[in-house]
Amino acid sequence: MREITFIEAVREAQAEALIADDRVFIMGQEIGSYGGVFRATQDFVRRFGEHRVRDMPIAEQSMLGAGVGAAVMGMRPIVEVMFMDFVACGMDAIVNHAAKMRYMSGDQLRAPMVIRTQGGSGTHHGSQHSQTLESWFLHVPGLAVVVPSVPQDVKGLFKTSVELEHPVLFVEHRALYRTTGTVTDPVAPIPLGQGVVRRRGDDVTVAAVGKSVHQALAAALEMEEEGVSVEVIDLRTLVPMDVELVLESLSHTHRLVVAHEAVERGGWAGELVARVVAEGFDELDAPPLRAGSKATPIPFARELEAAMISDERLIARRIRESLDLAEYSA
């Protein structure tokens, strides 16, 4: 076991993929001699050459589109979209091309590519550099959506993602980049669609991914002082989504809060809640609640951001509401 940072895990995961498979190459802006704006490809040009670590012009459509074209010809591109907000610029390549190639072609073409990106609030980058947009991709059949929360999962999920015969959105929260965690050597591939219980508890289940998992754990600590026992589930991937694990947890907690930094309106929590209500209605003692961000763009000023973003305080509040509602309904 070693302790490494989240960004080191991202770097190791990519390097291991480049070493393991010569079909793998990386495209992105500033990823070459600069080493990536978050250092995700530091030293890669020296190790793997400019041919496989390809600096791109600022042109997301062609970057993602050329990734699709290379993937259908048998390559395994890793495409780094520097900020998640910028996926909007290359959305056509992801939604209309990558996601559909295999299906439309009757399985003659496949687009196995990993689209790596990072997003999230907390660094005061303003409205166009802070969004959490993974929910967009749940709505497009044909894409896997992976949102790791710890270094071990970064490596294990990346290994599976790079080998998957479908395109993958691999979403990182930049606030996690300097967090640390232990990793095994080597890290075994983690199947997509398998969540994990991060903390056992009896009263309320909180389901989350990425940074929100850490916030849910912080909220659980806070609730512990109030005598409330919170179970925290890290879904790890949103497509596929481990609804089974959530239902299993609800069979003893009977209360659910779904936490994400994405805007609550139209966010993926709604999908999970709908599934839980449809498949586990009898287990519920209270209405499932969401802890998402308010429906505004993300503002610059600290005080403004705090007023709209989903965080551990909001998660704790939703946990209390869930308990109150349960009491009320009982």
Partner 1 sequence: MTEGAGLISSVTSPPLGDQDGGSPERGGDLGGLSDAQLLDVFRTMYTIRRFEVTMERAHLAGDLYGPFHSSMGQEAIPAGVCAALRADDVVASTHRGHGHAIAKGAELGPVCAELWGRATGYCGGKGGSMHIVSTRHGFIGQSPIIGGSGLLATGAALSFDLKGDSRVAVAFLGDGAVGQGVFHETLNLAAIWRLPAVFVVENNGYAHSFRADQMQLNPDIASRAEGYGMPGVVVDGTDVFSVYGAAEAAVERARAGDGPTLIEAKCYRWRGHNLGDAEHLYRERQEVEEARRNDPLHRFRQAVSGRLEPGALAGIEAAVDEEIDDAARFAAESPFADPQTALEGSY
Q: Which residues bind partner 1 (CB under 8 A)?
A: 25, 51-52, 54, 56-57, 59, 61-63, 65-75, 92-93, 96-97, 101-109, 141-144, 166, 239
Between 141 and 227, name the residue whose CB sits nearer to partner 1. 141
Between 179 and 194, name the residue whose CB sits nearer to partner 1. 194
Closest contact distance (angstroms) between CB of 167 and partner 1 is 8
Between 38 and 268, name the residue whose CB sits nearer to partner 1. 268
* Cα–Cα distance measured from residue 7 to residue 326, given in angstroms and rounded to the nearest whole number: 41
Closest contact distance (angstroms) between CB of 135 and partner 1 is 17
* Cα–Cα distance measured from residue 155 to residue 167, given in angstroms and rounded to the nearest whole number: 17
**Is the peptide bond prior to 186 cis by the omega test (within 30 degrees of 0)?**
yes
Closest contact distance (angstroms) between CB of 67 and partner 1 is 6
Between 37 and 75, name the residue whose CB sits nearer to partner 1. 75
* Cα–Cα distance measured from residue 6 to residue 40, given in angstroms and rounded to the nearest whole number: 10
Contact between 40 and 82 (Cβ < 8 Å): no
Catalytic residues: 129
Neighbours of 128 (CB within 10 A): 12
What b-and-e string marks burial along 153-180, b requiring 16 or more CB atoms within 10 Å of the CB? bbbbbbbbbbbbebbbbbbbbbbbbebe
Q: Is the CA virtual torsion 16, 19, 20, 26 positive or negative?
A: positive
Closest contact distance (angstroms) between CB of 118 and partner 1 is 22
Instruction: For the chain, report the end-to-end CA distance as a whole number of angstroms.
Output: 47
Neighbours of 65 (CB within 10 A): 19
